[in-house]
Amino acid sequence: MSVSGKTAIITGSNSGIGLGVARELARAGANVVLNSFTDSKEDHALAAEIGREHGVEARYIRADMSRAEDCRALIDTAGGCDILVNNAGIQHVAPISEFPTEKWDAIIAINLSSAFHTTAAALPVMRERGWGRVVNIASAHGLTASPFKSAYVAAKHGIVGFTKTTALETAEEPITANAICPGYVLTPLVEAQIPDTMKEYDMSREDVIRDVMLKRQPSKEFATVEQLGGTTVFLCSDAAAQITGTTISVDGGWTAL
* 184 assigned to active site: no
Q: Which amino acid makes up residue 85?
A: V
Q: 161-196 burial string, b = 16+ CB within 10 Å, else e?
A: ebbbebbeebeeeebbbbbbbbbbbbbeeeeeeeee
Q: Say how far apart CA 67 and CA 54 lie, in whole Å.
A: 32
For residue 32, the Cα-to-chain-centroid distance in whole angstroms is: 14
Nearest to 135 by CA among 119, 146, 149: 119
Question: Of 60, 152, 184, 201, which residue is the catalytic one?
Answer: 152
Burial of 101 (0-12, 13-18, 19+ CB in 10 A): exposed
**Active-site annotation, residues:** 152
